[in-house]
Each structure stands twice: as C-alpha cells, then as structure tokens.
Chains A and B, each alone.
Chain A
Amino acid sequence: MSGEESVLEAEGSVPTTADPGAVGEGGSVGDSPLRREDARALRGETTYTDDFGQEAAALAFVRSPHAHADIEGIDTDAAAATDGVVAVYTWADLVESDAPMELPVSTDPLDCEVPGHPVLARDRVRYDGQPVAAVVATDRYVAEDGVDAVEVEYDPRGVESDPEAATGEDAPTLFDAASDNVAAVGELGDREQTDRAFAEAEEVVSVELENNRLIPSALEPRAALAEFDRTEGFTVTMTSQSPHGHRRKLSHTLGVPERQIRVISPDVGGGFGHKGHHHPGEAMAAWAAMRLERPVKWTARRSANYLEGAHARDHQTHAEIGVDDDGTIRGLRVETDANVGGYALGGGAAMPGWYGSLLSSQYDIPAISCLTRAVFTNTAPLHSYRGAGRPEAVYVAERMVSAAARELDFDPVDLRRHNQVDPGEFPFETAAGATYDSGDYGNAMDRALDAVDYDDYRERVAETDGPVTDDEGRHVGVGVACYVESTGGGYESGVVRAHPDGTVTVSAGTHSHGQGHETTYAQIVADELGVPYDDIDVREGDSDSIPTGTGTFGSRSTITGGNAVAESAREVREKARDLAAATLEADPADLEHDDGEFRVTGTDRSVSFADVASQAYGWGVPDGFEPGLESTTFYEQEATAYTFGTHAARVAVDPETGEIDVERYVAVDDCGERINPLIVDGQVHGGVAQGLGQALSEQAVYADNGNLRTASLQDYAVPKSLDVPEIETEATVTPSPVNDLGVKGIGEAGTIAAPPTLVDAVLDALAPLGVESIDMPLTDETVWTAVRDAEE
C-alpha cells in the first residue's frame, strides 16, 4: 500500500455508499482489521483502574441525604475510632492545607460569580449525594463502616429540582450571587431578524419540548488510585477520557504545578463524557495520598456515581417554527431553560449557551434565535454526555420540522428535502452561526428512506382510511430524523516515533475507552508511513510520556488525534525518504516508497525503512541530517467538520398498553472517510442504543424532596439486550475538506439522531388518534397517557 496517496481529494468527489472490504483483512485506512484491544478483554487481561492498587487504602465519601441544607456540625469521632479507619476528613481539614480543593468553575459563560464545587462541602449542601466528609480505611468495607459512623447535623432548606420553577420568586436560592438561580443567559442568532421572519411567515407552529434528564451510565464506575511521593509528586491512575485534562484540573484543585502530577488512564470501561470531567473523587484521593503519604484508592459505587453525576440533558424548551405554505422554513425561535444542577461544572453551565448553534440541523433556515437560561437547582451537577448539546438542538429542530409538516399537511420528508442545504452550497453558514464544511444530505436521506420502504408506507397511509394498523391492531408509524453533528473541536497531540529496528510507536493525547485507537491509529500510520501495520504500536493514557493533548470526547479523536499522527507520520516518512535518498545517492523525487522500502525508480537499488531507522539513530548520519526519526504534531483542523445523516424507524404502537415495538431501525451516517468501517458501525450501534435508551426508558428522577429516585440500575432503566432493536447501518462518504484525512467524527451520531427518529415514528403512529406531541422517555405509561388524553 503506497504511502503517497493518503487522502481523497475532498472537492468534487462523488459521495458513495461505502463498500467496506472484508472484515478482518488488511491494515490500511478503509480496511476493517479486527481490533487489537480485543485480546486482553477476551482473555481477562484488561487492567481497569480498580484492578490496580489492591494494597492501597480505601476512600469513601459521606454523602448528604438532603438536597439542600446547611451543615450545622460534623462529628467524626466515632468514625475515626472505628477499627481499620485511618483518617476522616472534612472541609475543615482541606481548608487548612495549601490546596484550594474546590473544583474549578469556568466563570466565563456565567453571569454571576459563584464558588466552585468544594471537594467536601463547606457549610452547605446543594444536591442529594454531595460529598460532606471523606473516610480513608484499610479496605472499602471498613471505609463504609466509617462512613456510617460519621454524624452530620443538617438544617434542611427548601428544595427545587425543576429549572423553570427555580427561577420563580418563591424558589429557594442556591447562591447569593444568583438570587433567581439563573447562572447564565445565552443568546444566539439574531432575535430581531427572527421576529421579523416570524411576522412574515404564513404559518407559525409552537411546541413545548422536553429533553429528559439522563445519567451517563458507563459500566465501569469512576475510580482513582492516587500515589504521592515527595520527590516525584502525584501519580494518579484514574478513569479518564483526558489524562492531560485531568492533570490540569488536578493541578488547579490541589494547587500543585502540572509538572508534578502524572495522570495515567489505563483501560477504561466506557466514558460517554462523564469521565472527562473533574469530580471530587480523584481530588480527594490525591489529597489524602499526600496527607497520609500512602496510596489511596477511590472507586465509586454505582449509587455514588449516579448521585454525584454528572447528569445530562434536562432542557425545557418553548420552540416555534415559521413556515410558508409552500414548505419553506422562515425561521426558528427557541427559548430554553436548561438545568445546571447544584454547582456550575464546565459544560453544565456553558453548553446551554452554545447548544443552539446546531439548531439549523440540515436546513437552510434564514432566521434563528435561541435564548437560553442555565439555571441552578438542587440536583446533581450536569455536564456533557454523548452528544453534549447537539442532541438537544437536533431534537428541537427535527421535532419542529415534523410539527410544521403536520400543520401544513405536508409530507415530512418532502418538507425536509425542500429545505435541506444543497450539495453545491458548502461550506454553508447557518443563521445559528455554524459553518457546515461538506454534506450531501439528500443522498443519505434517500438511502434511509429506501431502507424502510418509505414510499410504500406513504402510499399505504394515503390509501388507508384511518390509522395504518398491523394484524394485532397496533398502530404503525414511520419516523425520520436528519441530523448534523459538529465534530473534532480543539487541538490534539500526536507522536510517531520510529525505533532503530524500524518498528514504530504512535502516541496521542486522546484516550480510547472502547473506540479502538490502538487499531485505527495503526491503520492511519501504516498508510502514511508505508510501514507494515503489524510493526506499529499505539500508546495512549500517560500524561508524562505523551505530549500535552486534549482527550477523547465530542467525536474528535479520529479527526484531531488521527490527523495529528498522520501528519507526524508524513514528517517521518519525508525524513526517511531524504535519508534513504542520501544513502542511495539518489534524488528523493526518484524514490518509490512501497511496503516498507525505498527504491530508486527503475532499479533494484533499495533500502528498507528499518535500515533507514537504524541509520538515523546510529553514528553515521549523513551530513546535513539531524539524527533521530520521530515527529510530534499538535494538530487542529481548519474548521469544524460536520457529520450528518438520516435515521429512520418503523414502529408498531399498542394504544391499549402504550407498548412500542421498534420493528426496523436504519441508520445512514456520513462521517467522511472511514478509517475502520467495522469500528464505525460499532460506534453507530452504541450511540443509537443509548439514544433509544433516552427515547424509550432512561430518566433520572428526583422526588419532591430532592432525593434521587433513580440511584441504581434497579431504578434507572438502561436498555438491556432485549430492549434494543436490530440496528441496520449504512454509510455514505462525503469527505471533509477541513482536515487532511477527510474524516469526521461518528461517536455521538446515534445519540443525536435516535431520539428524534423514534419520537417521530411514534407520533406518526399516534397522529390518527389525535396525539400531537409527546415527551421522552416514551415509556408505556407516557404513550398510554398521551392516547388517553387525546381521547378526551
């Protein structure tokens, strides 16, 4: 496989239905070699954070059972006296130390100056489960005994979990600096222009929409093993999607320079966003390790993981769409109350401000305005979770487009097609402030419609008097959702290092937690470098040995990490070529590079990459050359790459019981060039399953008193194997022009597209019964209630 051609020319290339090669063969970009990561999992040799540090002391938190309360006093005597308890800490201990011990709050997006989340509560708790004290013991059972023995006196305050209600006059105030509990107000788009557009639009449809509150439920709970040495500083092995990110945050929280902190992220059992955030656990473990000068390990219990979050989504939206009778969308006007939770943590407060930038979805909407309020409530802090703002925006856009179609009596697909951005219009700047790099929306949509026999279904609807039903009397519906996804933000570090023996180590600041970078990065470098796939190793997850990078989240790794290592590989290749040319006494332009060898064109004079590498690290480097054969790149793509696609679903809904049967689910996604189609499909499956989880069963529920009712897998309904339908995947390929590999992200596509797809299908099925709107999760109860309400 030649290393020369590595990228399709993005402009002018014809989007195709991707035709993957045989699974398990090859090692180039576009092949689907089986994953290298699998062996250790299948043999039980993986090393997750809790697998380490069996001798470490165990850390457990005392957590508030109140959603909002002042702390009157904490008595740790009994706990400290418990056999096997090594230490018990409260804020009083933390504040005496030099460490700030407050999780940083990014105040820029906020309209108020509020304190960050203290690692242990200072004098007040603001959500059920907030850490109040920390117990360190010889093992976790004893630590739990210690936790039980800590006595805390609380003076409860009023509680409010709902963001809209929290802004009301009578609502309890969480922070003095925000008396109405509004953390930030964000405005996006042009309000005046939008109002004018609405005034002129022939029809206006408005819908109240909810995006239900979720808890990212990676199967591996969060964990951190902290070690401290006076000379070496901190070594924190932890479940992290972003080792350098956590290093930076720990540096802030501990008040220690970054160079004195090493973060190692080993195998990670799923992340989905919440393992990129900074939580009390790792900070407390590190602080305790320093204080006690012994290793301290914290592993969250599932309930702890759920109580402290970060939670996700939780938007209440009033949305309006202005359309003309011919189907042209004139504008979208959106007002959203977004829940921040008990403390402002990163994305939780910031995301609502920019989520609206995706509101245009695939359409050319001339006027968009989005006003959001991010509101504090007595619930767990919210943050980004697979999709991070994009599912919320696309859900609004797609629900509104379908609502408009219903109002106009327009076919919902025709309405979408009428407004979709045309292939020739890219790069396309939307009224929401996003610039879409490339796309062929109609192509992907057609494939999805084909796959679910959409035209046949519409014919049947037209011919049928009343609802379309199946043999069992269930109402059949077909739903469609088109989406865009912004991917590849920020920069990333990528290193390609050739060793003297000609084998290669690749490293990057991303951190795979299921996405298969050990395989895909090797494919990329094999192609760029012309070195056999099997001679390449990939390393991630150590902030010491990898140049500072950003991490894995936001569908960014292939774009940023992939391109970073690709560029480093090209640098190495070029230097190797020049060295080879010098050795062969030829002009570099006369060299062919094939299969690990540099050969003078038309001759049999060649030198292997291994020889070149050996020479580069030897004593005989030719004049004018620096020794060494490696390259480090810090890569940022030119602009944002926008993945897109259309998902479609056919459902059968039983109006008597509310049960939904998802009979077909088709995902057509375009993430540009696909490095490993097998892995891409896997990401789509996983994202769709989580998106259907949101749509059908998942919801974090707080009781009126602010206690989290869904603090375990017993009560929080993650999809099991029989809850998820068969997911059919197809792909189109429209390369991105904004990065060299022509790739776009894919990790979050499913969570973005599946909720509106599913809801659209169910609304289609129930429309004949008079159901006009419905909110997720579409539990049997929700559907049944909607049908009953429509009957009245």
Chain B
Amino acid sequence: MSEHEVTVTVDGATETASVEARRLLVHALREEWGYTQPNVGCESGKCGACTVEMDGDVVKSCCVLAVQADGSEINTVAGVDGAPEGLTAAGDRVPEPGSDGDAEFGPVQRSFHEEHGLQCGYCTPGMVLRARDLLADNPDPTRAEIREGLKGNVCRCTGYENVVDAVEAAAAKLEPIETDGGGVGDGTATRGDD
C-alpha cells in the first residue's frame, strides 16, 4: 500500500492530505478537503459532474488520481467568477445585480440563472466550468457548437435547451480582451501549449 503526501491549491487555498495512491481526485476534493462541488454522477467518466479546472484545463476529476494532482492549481465552480479567460464583460451588457436578491454572479453564472439553465443543480458545477472553458476557446459559438462542446456534461433535467440558451446569453455578454497584435478569441485555440 502506497500513501502519498499531496498538496494542491483549491479555489485559492492551499490544501494538503496524505492519501493512498488509489484515491481519486474527486474524492480527495470532496472528503479530505471538503470541496463538495464536484459531484459524482457515474463510474465510467462519462457524465462530467465531477469536472474541475486543473491548471487551467477542465478535467474529469473522477479520472485523475489525487497523487497526480500534486502541485496543481484546482478551481471548482466556487472558485471561478468573472469572465472566462481572455474575455471580459462587454460594456453595459452585464446587468446590475437584480432585484431577485442575489449577489453578483459572473456573466456565465448569471446567464445560467437568467436563462433557467439549471434545475436540480447536480450537473451545474461541471456544466458552468465547461461552459466557461468553451467560451474562452470560442467566444461566439453557434448553438450547434455549444451542443457539441458540452457533450461531456450530462444533464437529465433541463433537456439542454436552456443550458444552450445560457451559454449563448453569456457569449452575448462577453467580448474578447483586446491585446497587442490583434485580438484573442478568433476561434482558434491558443491555450495550453506547454
């Protein structure tokens, strides 16, 4: 039996645990460190409810050993707000916090809220993270591209209709950050080249 010291940053906080090699990252997050947002929905890596951001990439934390995550920066849905990478809220297209009494959400979360893009909420943490990731790569997706892009996240409640609406609405709220030498967000992937 092999026990290993694992140290990660989760939503900005440093976390450490001594775990067996066989311990899945999703379980370490949920149980060792108390981040219950990634949810377990299946056993075969298909449903995406366990999706987290690991060093900037969305991954299924049920298919990563905790030991593999040593030294990584992990974000759950609780740790991400504001616009996805490379994008910014476009002018006045993000409404003021509404009279429904909710505090500010970032534009993606806000859009899920406004479009009723969640019902039971179980898929939502993973869905939001992947939606942000999708928009970072493709800030102006068609509905077909959104559907293709979300195929790794299963939802049983919404029928995906309002989820697609939410991502579309989020895209409308966002615009690429202008950089020198041309804008980002022309549809090609530019991240993750290490």
Direct A–B touching, Cβ under 8 Å: yes
**Is A657 in contact with chain B by the CB < 8 A criterion?**
no
Question: Which residue of chain A has the shortest Cβ distance to B146 in the bound complex?
Answer: A721
CB proximity to B under 8 Å, residues A613-631: none
On whether the beta carbons of B37 and A268 are closer than 8 Å, the reply is no
Closest Cβ neighbor of B32 among chain A residues: A54
Contacts of B46 in A (CB 8 A): 712-714
Cβ of B25 within 8 Å of any chain A Cβ, yes or no, is no
Is B22 among interface residues, defined by CB-CB distance under 8 A?
A: yes
B49 interface residue, CB < 8 Å from A? yes
B contact face: mostly helix, strand, loop, or mixed: loop
Q: How far is the CA of A270 from the CA of B159 in the complex (A)?
A: 13
Interface residues of A in 8-39 (CB under 8 A from B): 23-25, 33-39
CA distance A669 to B78 in the complex (A): 37
CB-defined interface of B114-130 with A at 8 Å, one 1/0 digit per residue? 10101111111100100
Measured CA separation A54–B160 after assembly (Å): 32
Given contact pairs A217-B156, A301-B43, A302-B42, a sample of 18 additional A-B residue pairs in the complex whose CB atoms are under 8 Å apart: A34-B113, A35-B116, A39-B103, A39-B113, A41-B121, A43-B78, A44-B37, A44-B125, A54-B31, A534-B101, A686-B119, A687-B159, A713-B46, A720-B154, A721-B150, A721-B153, A724-B147, A724-B161
Whether A690 pairs with B22 at a CB distance below 8 angstroms is no
Question: Which chain A residues lie closer than 8 Å to B35 at the CB level?
Answer: 44
Contact with A along B12-37 (1 / 0, CB 8 A): 00000000101100010011001111
A45 (CB) vs chain B CBs: closest residue = B78
Partner of A220, one of B27, B41, B78, B153: B41
Contact assessment for A38 and B120 in the assembled complex, using a CB-CB cutoff below 8 Å: no
Which of B36, B77, B103 contacts A47 (CB under 8 A)?
B36
Out of B39, B47, B122, B123, name the residue touching A713 (CB < 8 Å). B47
Could you tell me if B102 and A682 are in contact, using CB atoms closer than 8 angstroms? no
Q: Quick one: CB contact mask for A716-736 with B, threshold 8 Å, 1 for yes?
A: 001111101011000000000
CB pair B159–A219 under 8 Å, yes or no, is no
Instruction: A513 to B146: give the CA distance in the assembly, Å.
Output: 26
Q: B148–A722 contact, CB under 8 A? A: yes
Q: Contact check, A721 vs B77: say whether CB atoms are below 8 A apart.
A: no
Q: Please, what's the 1-or-0 string for A127-161, where 1 marks a CB less than 8 Å from any CB in chain B?
A: 00000000000011100000000000000000000
| Residue positions of A touching B, CB distance < 8 A | 23-25, 33-48, 50-51, 54, 139-141, 217-221, 267-270, 272, 299, 301-303, 513-516, 534, 678-679, 681-682, 685-690, 712-714, 718-722, 724, 726-727, 750
Cα distance, A726 to B158, chains bound together (Å):
12
A41 CA to B147 CA, complexed, in Å: 21
CB-based contact A42/B98 at 8 Å: no
A221 & B156 in contact (Cβ 8 Å cutoff)? no
Listed A/B pairs (24) with beta-carbon separation below 8 Å: A34-B116, A35-B116, A38-B113, A38-B118, A41-B125, A43-B77, A50-B40, A219-B49, A219-B156, A220-B122, A303-B43, A514-B157, A516-B119, A682-B158, A686-B158, A686-B159, A689-B156, A689-B158, A713-B154, A718-B154, A719-B160, A720-B150, A721-B151, A722-B151
Report which of B41, B109, B154 forms a contact with A42, defined as CB distance below 8 A: B109
- Tell which of B99, B143, B161 has the most Cβ of chain A within 10 Å: B161
In whole angstroms, how far apart are the Cα atoms of A48 and B27 in the complex?
15
Whole-angstrom CA separation of A139 from B161 in the bound complex? 39
